[in-house]
């Protein structure tokens, strides 16, 4: 009887609200994070896409989305094809990406925060839409082990409730060529 009671208690603790661990391969990167939701969701990995920035730098995007029906989380890894003598001002780029996207999305009550993401300095922007739906956008650059030049940017866009987005950002890990 005591064992049965303990099993029931363990199942209750692991039930609603338990974080599910996501582990996905995006191109040459391994991405992992916890999604603190008991809601059903689907994971969609897109094929890599290539492009060129306004300043002429070539890049490849690796995209992952988590579709929860009423909420969406979108992760973009942008790998820049730049040489080791070219550097990107990562903090300025992070701020410009986040503020630019929030402005384009026509958010209200916008706030910016600097926080650690995956052991790096990142920028988080939070706001609400006119419908009062909360929106978060974050950006950081991944450390490159073989060069002081950071060549990969990670961007996260989320309409999940703040507690889910916060858990995801705090647990986010990206491993790969940086």
pLDDT digits (tens, 9 = 90+) for 19-57: 589 999 999 999 999 998 888 999 999 999 999 988 888
135-155: burial string, b at 16+ Cβ within 10 Å, e else: bbbbbbbbeeeeeebbbbbbb
Distances, alpha carbon 122 to alpha carbons 57, 83, 97, 118, 125, in Å: 22, 23, 11, 9, 10
Annotated domain spans of the chain = 17-175
113 contact partners, CB below 8 Å, separation of at least 6: 123, 124, 125, 126
By three-state DSSP, how is residue 167 classified?
helix
Non-local (6+) Cβ contacts of 25 within 8 A are 31
The distance of Cα 172 from the centroid of its chain, to the nearest Å, equals 7
* Per-residue pLDDT in tens (0 to 9) along the chain, 178 residues: 444 333 333 333 333 445 589 999 999 999 999 998 888 999 999 999 999 988 888 999 999 999 999 999 999 999 988 765 555 667 778 888 898 888 888 887 889 999 999 999 999 999 988 777 889 999 998 876 666 556 889 999 999 999 999 999 999 999 987 5
């Amino acid at each position: 009887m005591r064992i049965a009671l303990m099993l029931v208690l363990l199942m209750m603790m692991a039930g609603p609200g338990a974080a599910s661990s996501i582990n996905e391969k995006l191109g040459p990167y391994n991405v992992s994070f916890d999604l603190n939701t008991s809601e059903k969701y689907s994971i969609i990995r897109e094929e890599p896409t290539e492009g060129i920035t306004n300043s002429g730098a070539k890049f490849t995007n690796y995209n992952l989305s988590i579709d929860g029906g009423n909420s969406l989380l979108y992760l973009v890894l942008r790998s820049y094809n730049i040489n080791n003598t070219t550097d990107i001002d990562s903090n300025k780029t992070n701020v410009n990406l986040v503020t630019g996207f929030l402005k384009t999305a026509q958010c209200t009550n916008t706030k910016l925060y600097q926080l650690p993401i995956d052991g790096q300095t990142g920028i988080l922007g939070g706001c609400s839409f006119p419908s009062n739906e909360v929106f978060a956008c974050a950006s950081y650059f991944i450390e490159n082990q073989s060069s002081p030049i950071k060549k990969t940017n990670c961007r996260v866009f989320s309409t999940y409730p703040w507690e889910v987005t916060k858990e995801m950002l705090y647990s986010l890990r990206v491993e790969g060529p940086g």
